[in-house]
Amino acid sequence: SVLVTAATATEENSPKMRVIRVGTRKSQLARIQTDSVVATLKALYPGLQFEIIAMSTTGDKILDTALSKIGEKSLFTKELEHALERNEVDLVVHSLKDLPTVLPPGFTIGAICKRENPHDAVVFHPKFVGKTLETLPEKSVVGTSSLRRAAQLQRKFPHLEFRSIRGNLNTRLRKLDEQQEFSAIILATAGLQRMGWHNRVGQILHPEECMYAVGQGALGVEVRAKDQDILDMVGVLHDPETLLRCIAERAFLRHLEGGCSVPVAVHTAMKDGQLYLTGGVWSLDGSDSIQDTMQATIHVPAQHEDGPEDDPQLVGITARNIPRGPQLAAQNLGISLANLLLSKGAKNILDIARQLNDAH
């Protein structure tokens, strides 16, 4: 069957409507995130039909191992990328923080949607509601599957013990509530909000307590790099400020060669034409750390008509409808901050963290 080029909203009388197939993980949060992106696209392109195809991924299946041990950033993305490659789906919606800074050849991130709250949140066991990490009893066990969270929080709250907890959001909350092992767990605020569980957020962690993961709180839409129709269609979803912040964050992480198996965290802000990027690396126990902040003058651009056709990707992202200058400036900011941290000894901290993690 010949696929007709995706019609724009104004060409609804095209001969045969192309069905746009959207891939997603099966978890409830992934479905909610995908539904929100599809709803936006439907409103923008009322003439198009969308079909959502849900799949299980390796990361969803291996639930008894800490993520950092499985040693793959593409854990939650590989099966979905295979479906893209085989033309079974046309786009895939991911949490941007699950997408590696170097994508496999043939794929690109065609849209980064407006970021929700990127900070981490603490959810407490019912008997500790009203507490904060600070006021939890000595030796309380806090669950997190993230080396980044554990390293920072161990340093900040030495009276607590941090232990791995895996599973999707529903599973983790059930483990917290029904077993007596954990006094609290750390989750991304954005995920809790998207699930409608605002009432479970007991504390939101500020950057001085715990900086967030690269891309946290933003959704990325992955497409085939050569599929110009689909790239054009999803490109309108780019949120310029989120895009620039995430380019800087991803460039920082890529240049450090960080990943799931080492504690790297960031914080970005856009203010008065300045993009501020704070980044840090930690040893696994948080005892050693290097952090710094840099800024660059970048004005958030409006979307504009297509730029040059041969635009290469920046940190895996294609955004032809956003001026190139600010994107390059954001990328350079990330690289500069990574170089500053490397010059202060970040490589040593990361190498040791990697070795220790591999040895466990």
Is 164 exposed, middle or buried (CB count within 10 Å of its CB: 0-12, 13-18, 19+)?
A: middle
Which of 225, 237, 216, 256 has its CA nearest to residue 343? 256
Q: Which residues pair with 52 in a beta bridge?
A: 22
Question: Hey, what are 291's tokens?
Answer: 């952090």
Q: Based on the residue annotation, tell me whether 98 is a catalytic residue of this protein.
A: yes
Query: Biggest alpha carbon distance in the chain?
Result: 68
Catalytic residue among 90, 98, 120, 227: 98
DSSP secondary structure string for all residues of 177-211: HHSSS-SEEEEEHHHHHHTT-GGG--EE--TTT--
CA distances from residue 338 to 160, 202, 209, 255, 264 in whole angstroms, order as listed: 30, 33, 21, 6, 11
DSSP secondary structure string for all residues of 6-25: PPPTT-TT-SSPPEEEEEEE
Q: Are strands 289-297 and 274-282 parallel, antiparallel or unpaired?
A: antiparallel
CA 31/CA 265 separation, integer angstroms: 27
Kindly give, in sequence order, each residue whose CB lies less than 8 Å from that of residue 70, ignoring residues fewer than 6 positions away.
Answer: 58, 59, 62
Instruction: Report the SS3 class of residue 354.
Output: helix
Report the Cα 306 to chain-centroid distance in Å: 26
- Sheet containing 161-163, strands listed edge to edge, beginning at the edge strand earlier in sequence: 161-163, 141-143, 184-188, 120-124, 203-204
DSSP secondary structure string for all residues of 253-302: HHHHT--TTS-EEEEEEEETTEEEEEEEEE-TTSSSEEEEEEEEE-PPPP
Could you list the active site residues?
Answer: 98
